[in-house]
Amino acid sequence: MLFYPAALPLWVAADRPFYSGKHRRHGVNLQVIASPAGDILWVSGPLPGAVHDLTAARIWGIVRELAAAGLIVLADKGYHSAGEHIRTPYKGRNKPESQKAANCAHAKLRAPGERANAQLKTWRILRKLRCCPWQAGQLAKAIHVLQTRETGG
């Protein structure tokens, strides 16, 4: 299992909670779970862009459910200290060669899932949302259904 945040930009948002300091724009935070083959398995509902990725995963109960299922999950550095079952790359500068090699292997294993997240973001309707931010999750879930139907999965 692979675990990803998807930050979707908003065209106009008057509310400060939707402002993401990381991306320096208003946006919506969606959590995506993808298979190792690169297929999207699940898309969360929307949360304001100001919500940290790990907090969003905990709000949706993803961390708890994956731990209960006993699945090992690969995630990015934003999920550091999420639990023993969530594997993240090593942080910091001047890492020893062994940690650099481990990070390289981690990135190679996560690449198909990154592609799944990128495919979700390529849909033009999600590039700059011009609707209510709370509808972003419904749009992403509809796109997930369309992609699943298109690939015959």
Tens digits of residue pLDDT in 95-145: 999 999 999 999 999 888 888 888 888 888 777 777 777 788 888 888 888
**Spatial separation of the C-alpha atoms in residues 95 and 56, rounded to whole Å:** 29
| CB of 50 closer than 8 Å to CB of 27 | no
| pLDDT at residue 1 is higher than 70 | no
pLDDT digits (tens, 9 = 90+) for 4-14: 566 666 555 45
Give the model's pLDDT for residue 4.
57
Report the DSSP beta bridge partners of residue 34: 2, 40
Give the model's pLDDT for residue 15.
58
